[in-house]
A = this chain, B = another copy of it.
Amino acid sequence: MTEKFDLATVYVSDAQYNRNIFFDTSPQAVRLYLLYNHWFMQMLVYVFIIINLALALFEDPAVVPLPIWATSTIEIVCLSAFTVRIVHYAKVIPKDKFWKDPKNICIIIIVTLSFIDLTIYGALKTSGYFGIRWSRVLRPLLLVNVTEGRQLRRAFRSIRNALPQISYVFLLFMFSVLVFSLMALKLFGKRGLFTIDGSPYFTDYLDIVFDLYVLVTTANSPDVMMPAYNYSVFFTIFFILYIVINTYTFMSFFLAVVYNNYKKYLKEEVRQLVKARRYKMCRAFSLLQETRGEGGEPVVTQAKWNRLVKLVKPNISIAHRELLWSVLDDQNKGHIGKFAFVQLADLLSIQVITVKSQAHPIQICFPSLYNSSASRFIRYMVHHRMFVYIYDLIILVNAVFIGLDEENPVVSNAEWGFLALYMLEIILKLYSTEPRAFFARHHFWNWFDTIIVVSALFGTIINSALKHSGGYTSRQILDIVFILRVLRLIRLVDSIKRFRAIINTLIKIGPTILIFGQLIVVVYYIFAMVGMELFKGKVHFFEPNSTSPDQEYCGNPLLKGTTFAKLNYCKNNFNNVISSFIVLLELTVVNQWHDILYIYRSKSALLTSGFTAVTHVSARIFFVLFHIVVVIIIINIFVAFILEAFLVEY
């Protein structure tokens, strides 16, 4: 019987958390499965994945260099952990299911390849040869496959499903770019025009294709048009048509295709989830069911149901459990049928906010004081609208004071006054509202306010103490205090109903935006690894107070006089994983990207590095590929997601 309850518990919690694992139902497999789903094991896997990804900080080219033996040892530990995890998983589910799941095959291949790569790299390094850690590109895929990041995997699946449609539009778009480029070659190639840096304008077909591709991202507008425009105003027609068709229409088409697929896929996904959830609840029901009377419908008794709920959610309150039962057994029969039973998973997911009108602690300790007319007046005042308006006004005045020079003694003293006012507000509110109700989980702004104000108070005190003790002010503490002060202003938006609706939408979609964060990390990591191997050490950054003469051209004589050096872009390099991520972010924003990759695409610059023209082309391919993957696909999925979330929530 216990085994049956164990199994039913697993089914219900799988249904509740939308897990889709076809585990073995033998008792020992079920116990292993429970261990597999334990929060500690899941957290451990995440920790190992983060450590594994973070290795890029310490491996060559490193932010903080560590010896190869150290990083290799850590990586071996991580890979072993993933191996243990996958072996554990293999024990839980039937053999045939295990080998049919591409996720598992993927993990096994990645772990194996990583071990092979480590061995080869170690051998090459010890014998003094040059080696590339190519398996680092595969690391972020573990984040997708090893973790139970179902949403992340779903996002990837959604991309995969949209790919065929995207590629048709993309091919047509590329055809359009190629045709326009050919037209540009014929129209401008023989006119003897020159670009601003003196090179011939639109004479090489592949260069034109690249330039016009960049124009789609708007990054080289209007520069790419200027020579033609200076020659004749009629040539702007060519560029206007190009921009309308390719930059606006096709880019909107991409968004439309992605959005369309996203919506379709989302619906299908939700349908499948509901179906799977129902199936699991039916399995759980059939384990606990008993038949009442002759030919009666099978039912589950309240006793069994109570035991199950206690197993699924050990810390559920009795009141909450009884509320759930009364919802299901609305006719008070003492047992429920299949139809009512399958709703349990949904009911458990609903957050029940128990608003108990408990008495205020002060009221309990000092009832006469708390109920005195003065006290009642204070409580009335705090709950009055004017109280909110007055504090909004205080915040506005505070905003002006923040904008003023904080070294002025009036301003810095006023800050104490504002802090006192904010503390008073919190105390007054705590006095007139029951503290547990005030700090209920769904009262976002109360939490926000209290944390910000109390931290600001501590920060200001520490800062002031430091100042008075040695006359020295820690810049870091001051920065934090400034940030806290400014954050306090955000509270203003909560007073305006329309803004609150928008902010609530933002807060609701917050968690899913984090999923996109993971998606971006996966893609950035892959491109960063490739980028570092291709471009590391090409550009150097010199601290602003450096006196090195190389500073002017980022330590690469080939950069003398280039826009890249002139704009002081030296820190935009692939010399370590952090800079690489920042460069990739700048490429995502798609501005000046042709300037950022100037050094990487300039033929002469790469010739000396022994890369010859091959890298010249590969650099362009690298950046165009990045644009396609990140801007055309991922950013559009992000926009599609915001669009749909907004249409549903707002």
Contact = CB atoms under 8 A, between A and B. Distances in A.
Contacts of A579: 233
Given A168-B502, A222-B592, A482 B639 contact: no
Nearest to A249: B642
Contact of A223 (B187, B220, B506, B567): B567
Contact of A179 (B185, B406, B479, B489): B489
Contacts of A175: 492-493, 499
Contacts of A255: 639, 643
Nearest to A639: B252
B482 A230 contact: no
Contacts of A186: 402, 406, 479, 482-483, 485-486
Interface in A216-254: 218-223, 226, 229-231, 233, 236, 240, 243, 247-249, 252-253
Contacts of A590: 218
A125 to B, nearest CB: 29
Nearest to A583: B222
Contacts of A567: 196, 223, 226
A482 B582 contact: no
A585 B240 contact: yes
Interface stretch (A256-264, A329-337, A374-382): A256-264
A379 to B, nearest CB: 31
Interface string A153-184: 00000000000000011011001000100110
A32 to B, nearest CB: 41
A144 B642 CA distance: 33
A499 B257 CA distance: 14
A591 B591 contact: yes
A432 B205 CA distance: 39
Contact of A231 (B243, B479, B544, B647): B544
Interface in A566-602: 566-569, 571-572, 578-579, 582, 585-586, 589-592, 596
Nearest to A570: B230
A486 B221 contact: no
Given A259-B643, A635-B248, A642-B252, A230 B568 contact: yes
A186 to B, nearest CB: 4
A409 interface: no
Contact of A638 (B205, B248, B259, B502): B248
Contacts of A568: 196, 226, 230
Interface string A621-650: 000000000000001001100110011001
Contacts of A485: 186
Nearest to A489: B179
A168 B500 CA distance: 11
Interface string A468-510: 0000000000010011011001101100001100110010000
A221 B168 CA distance: 31
B252 A402 contact: no
Given A482-B183, A486-B183, A646-B253, A221 B589 contact: yes
A403 interface: yes
A172 B493 contact: yes
Contacts of A479: 186-187
Instruction: State how many copies of this chain the complex holds.
Output: 2
Interface residues of A, number: 82
A253 B596 CA distance: 29
A240, A485, A503, A589 pick with most chain B CB within 10 angstroms: A589
Contacts of A236: 582, 585
B256 A642 contact: yes
Contact of A182 (B486, B502, B503): B486
A399 interface: yes
B582 A229 contact: yes
A571 B229 contact: yes
Contacts of A259: 643, 647
B571 A168 contact: no
A592 B223 contact: yes
A219 B591 contact: yes
A402 B182 contact: yes
Nearest to A479: B187
A129 B450 CA distance: 65
B502 A187 contact: no
Contacts of A482: 183, 186-187
A638 B186 CA distance: 32
A513 B252 CA distance: 13
A243 B100 CA distance: 42
A490 B247 CA distance: 19
Contacts of A187: 479, 482-483
A563 B255 CA distance: 34
B489 A226 contact: no
Contacts of A231: 544
Given A248-B638, A639-B252, A403 B222 contact: no
B498 A168 contact: yes
A205 B646 contact: no
List of 9 A-B pairs having minimum Cβ-Cβ separation, nearest first: A256-B646, A186-B482, A252-B642, A221-B591, A222-B586, A183-B486, A218-B591, A168-B498, A221-B589
Given A231-B544, A252-B642, 15 more contacts: A168-B498, A168-B502, A175-B493, A183-B482, A183-B483, A187-B482, A196-B567, A218-B590, A229-B571, A230-B541, A233-B579, A248-B635, A255-B643, A257-B646, A260-B646
9 contacts: A179-B489, A179-B490, A183-B486, A221-B589, A222-B589, A222-B596, A248-B639, A249-B642, A253-B642
